[in-house]
């Protein structure tokens, strides 16, 4: 019995290392997730997002700041649930490189500044709520005479299994409370 408890404690306090790599290019979009437990690969999944985006027009470099703002808006909406998980994660490596141009040099410069701004806000928000053991490597390379976009993000995070379970349960509780609040608001709206 003591050995079972000892194994359970060791398991719960061991770390998961999660590698996330996302790439967006005009040709394809993909996300690769690899999860390691005690340096043993347990999950490796690559998802091609082109199938999901077949009805959606491709993003061009001019639209990138607004798309990043949409992502920031989603982060703000799920702020409490996301920050609960981020507080338990340690970022070991973070790299986010974007290359692009609109075809017009002056507009490319303006858009590049917007991309820098939105990336800075997102990284600052992550640093405020997460634990960073690295300095994020952020780049925006403007292509002044080309109409092109490519963005790649790569990060490595670690989390203890017990913290992941605790965070997951807290997120589920927050989501359940939000659902109850939405149902209550809908019922109040129907009554009025």
Q: pLDDT of 2-42, one tens digit each?
A: 888 887 878 788 889 999 999 988 778 889 999 998 888 99
| DSSP per-residue string spanning 16-37 | EEEEEEEEEESS-EEEEEEEEE
Which of the pair, 107 or 27, is modelled with greater confidence? 107
Which of the pair, 173 or 192, is modelled with greater confidence? 173
Percent of the chain with pLDDT over 90: 29
Q: Report the pLDDT value the prediction gives residue 82, as an integer from 0 to 100.
A: 74
Which of the pair, 177 or 124, is modelled with greater confidence? 124
Per-residue pLDDT, averaged over 119-132, amounts to: 90
Q: Report the pLDDT value the prediction gives residue 59, as an integer from 0 to 100.
A: 63
Question: Distance between CA 100 and CA 151 in Å, rounded?
Answer: 8
Question: Distance between CA 70 and CA 65 in Å, rounded?
Answer: 9
Per-residue pLDDT, averaged over 78-99, amounts to: 85
Q: Report the pLDDT value the prediction gives residue 189, as an integer from 0 to 100.
A: 58
| DSSP per-residue string spanning 101-112 | EESSHHHHHHHH
Q: Assign residue 81 a region: left if phi > 0, alpha if psi is -120 to 50, beta otherwise?
A: alpha
Query: Model confidence over 108-117: pLDDT tens digits?
Result: 899 899 899 9
What average pLDDT is seen over the chain? 82
CA diameter of the chain? 70
Helix, strand, coil % in the chain, rounded to nearest 5:
50, 35, 20
Within 8 A by CB and 6+ apart from 64, the residues are 98, 100, 111, 114, 115, 149, 151
Q: Does 118 score more than 80 pLDDT?
A: yes
Question: Distance between CA 133 and CA 125 in Å, rounded?
Answer: 15
Which of the pair, 152 or 1, is modelled with greater confidence? 152
Q: Which of 6-20, 71-85, 151-165 has the lowest mean pLDDT?
A: 71-85
| Tokens 């203890």, residue located | 160
Q: Which of 46-50, 120-124, 126-130 has the lowest mean pLDDT?
A: 46-50
State how far the alpha carbon of 28 is from the alpha carbons of 8, 40, 45, 171, 190, in Å: 42, 29, 16, 32, 45
Dihedral (CA of 111, 113, 116, 118) sign: negative
Contact between 162 and 12 under an 8 Å Cβ cutoff? The reply is yes
């Amino acid at each position: 019995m003591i050995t079972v408890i000892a194994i359970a404690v060791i398991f719960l306090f061991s770390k998961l290392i999660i590698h996330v790599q996302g790439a967006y290019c005009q040709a394809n979009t993909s996300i690769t997730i690899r999860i390691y437990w005690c340096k043993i690969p347990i999950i490796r999944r690559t998802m091609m997002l082109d199938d999901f985006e077949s009805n959606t027009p491709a993003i061009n470099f001019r639209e990138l700041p607004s798309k990043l703002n949409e992502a920031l808006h989603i982060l703000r909406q799920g702020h409490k649930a996301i920050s609960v998980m981020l507080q338990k994660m340690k970022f070991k490596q973070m790299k986010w490189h974007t290359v692009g141009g609109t075809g017009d040099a002056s507009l490319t410069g303006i858009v590049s500044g917007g991309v820098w701004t939105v990336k800075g806000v997102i990284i600052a928000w992550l640093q405020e709520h997460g634990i960073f053991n690295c300095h994020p490597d952020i780049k925006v390379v403007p292509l002044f005479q080309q109409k092109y976009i490519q963005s790649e993000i790569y990060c490595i995070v670690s989390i203890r299994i017990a913290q992941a379970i605790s965070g997951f349960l807290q997120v589920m509780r927050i989501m359940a409370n939000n659902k109850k609040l939405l149902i209550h608001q809908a019922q109040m709206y129907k009554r009025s």
